Chains A and B, each alone.
Chain A
Amino acid sequence: QVHLQESGPGLVKPSETLSLTCTVSGGSVSSGSYYWSWIRQPPGKGLEWIGYIYYSGDTNYNPSLKSRVTISVDTSKNQFSLKLSFVTAADTAVYYCARDAFFGRFDPWGQGTLVTISS
């Protein structure tokens, strides 16, 4: 059974770069059958798709975040990562990683990690 776990700092200063890693167990990020995605949820608000990466390194990002987002994959560690630059308070959210069996079939999800943007 595939399990995803997010990790990274829970507090980031404004204008700095948010960095998170998702570790996959019970499955492989090198599988050609899935995209590996990041999704976030501001406190009390709805879900927002951030982007995905394929094992080949191909990526696709939410147009509203594209200029600040980088998603990468490390097949040797079975991990994929998110970097979001020039963060503001509006980027405070629970960040989830999820496996996507193409076209938005997100399953499973990680438990999520709260990242707060504050000085």
Chain B
Amino acid sequence: QSALTQPASVSGSPGQSITISCTGTSSDVGDYNYVSWYQQHPGKAPKLMIYDVSNRPSGVSNRFSGSKSGNTASLTISGLQAEDEADYYCSSYTSSSTQVFGGGTKLTVL
């Protein structure tokens, strides 16, 4: 299985909105509404931010939202804050009943 495709980096200024894309295939992202997003600060374990494409776990800010169109899922962060600076990973369920992650995107808050 091939890793999902994410941009290596994105950046934005405080208060702005940014979107991170996650492109897969019709065997994973395109065929299932089981895309999750994770935030990882340096030296820390990843934290679940979005599951099932657009659902937020309890305690996650509503500034984080997810969506999907075809084989591409997206994570949008609105009202960017300094604490949002981190690496972000998407993952998807696959037709082989396995999981596949994206390569990760480094978000820089300018």
Contact = CB atoms under 8 A, between A and B. Distances in A.
A60 B97 contact: yes
Interface string A27-41: 000000000010100
Contacts of A60: 97-98
Nearest to B89: A47
Contact of B48 (A39, A62, A106, A112): A106
Interface string A42-68: 000011110000000000111110000
A118 interface: no
A47 B34 CA distance: 17
Interface stretch (B11-19, B78-86, B99-107): B99-107
Given A103-B34, A103-B52, A105-B36, A47 B104 contact: yes
B98 A46 contact: no
Contacts of B34: 103-104
A74 interface: no
Max chain B Cβ within 10 angstroms of own Cβ: one of A63, A103, A109, A110: A103
B95 to A, nearest CB: 12
Given A46-B89, A103-B34, A105-B52, A62 B98 contact: yes
B5 to A, nearest CB: 11
Contact of A103 (B32, B101, B102, B103): B32
Given A47-B89, A60-B97, A105 B48 contact: yes
Contact of B92 (A104, A106, A109): A104
Interface of B: 1, 3, 32, 34-36, 38, 45-48, 51-52, 57, 89, 91-93, 96-104
Sort A-B residue pairs by CB-CB distance and give the 9 closest, nearest first.
A103-B34, A107-B48, A109-B45, A49-B99, A46-B104, A47-B101, A105-B51, A103-B93, A104-B99
